[in-house]
Amino acid sequence: MKVFRKIKEIETITQEQLIDITDHINLFIKETGIRNGTLIVQTLHTTMGLIIQELTEPRLCRDIIKHLNCIVSQKVEDYEHNDIDKRPEVIDKINEPLNGKAHIQSLLLDQQLFLDIYDNKLTLGKWQRIGLLELDGPRENRSFFLKAWEDTGALKLNYWIDGRFYPVKRPLKLSNLILKNRNF
């Protein structure tokens, strides 16, 4: 089985930023030549997260960040992590970020996504995009990890329709599968 790995670095320009990384991922898939397989994307930072969402709509992107800020306290003093004087492991106390809030926000997000590769690209819904959410920027070098591998061997596909499995000889594109009056 062929396995491909890559670490991609990006720069963030604001403290909180939602970055669409879908095109970076699809380019990686094309570079690997994988037709059908599986991909993992993983953030390499504890103050970042991953989401699958409609990222082409800027108002929604702002809403996502706004509501993360409503859920998690904005007060620096609410986080023991921000009490630098009580953290002996911190060497550079002047430049250590007060980012307790970002660590807690990242707990509400995914750190890894497992995604399907079909026909040499990500299997996503019409509006779905992959987003990397920066919670502690701006930063020059923020990284995410990509790992992809091919499906091996014969894959037996079945569709579940009306309580029964129906075998198919070749995969159908989801956009071509139109079923009316079906209860799934």
Q: Is residue 147 part of a domain?
A: yes
pLDDT tens, position by position, 104-158 = 999 999 999 999 999 999 999 999 999 999 999 999 999 999 999 999 865 556 6
CA angle 59, 127, 63 (to 5 degrees): 20
Residue span of the structural domain in which 65 resides: 3-154
- Going from the C-alpha of 146 to that of each of 22, 24, 30, 131, 164, the distances in angstroms are 12, 10, 13, 14, 36
* pLDDT band for position 168 (cuts 50, 70, 90): low
CA angle 30, 32, 36 (to 5 degrees): 80
* pLDDT band for position 18 (cuts 50, 70, 90): very high
pLDDT: which is higher, 166 or 64: 64
- Secondary structure percentages of the chain, helix, strand, coil, to 5: 25, 35, 45
pLDDT for the residue numbered 1: 81
Q: Is residue 129 part of a domain?
A: yes
Mean pLDDT of 82-103: 94
pLDDT exceeds cutoff 70 at 173: no
Q: Is residue 47 part of a domain?
A: yes
Q: Is residue 166 part of a domain?
A: no
The Cα–Cα gap between 74 and 128 comes to 29
Return the structure tokens found at 163: 């309580």
Q: Is residue 173 part of a domain?
A: no
Q: Is residue 21 part of a domain?
A: yes
The Cα–Cα gap between 40 and 149 comes to 9
Provide the number of structural domains found in the chain.
1
For residue 47, the domain's CATH number is 2.60.120.460
pLDDT for the residue numbered 43: 98
Q: Is residue 19 part of a domain?
A: yes
Q: Is residue 164 part of a domain?
A: no
pLDDT tens, position by position, 28-67 = 999 999 999 999 999 999 999 999 999 999 999 999 999 9
pLDDT for the residue numbered 181: 47
Return phi, psi of residue 80, to 5°. -60, -30
pLDDT for the residue numbered 12: 98
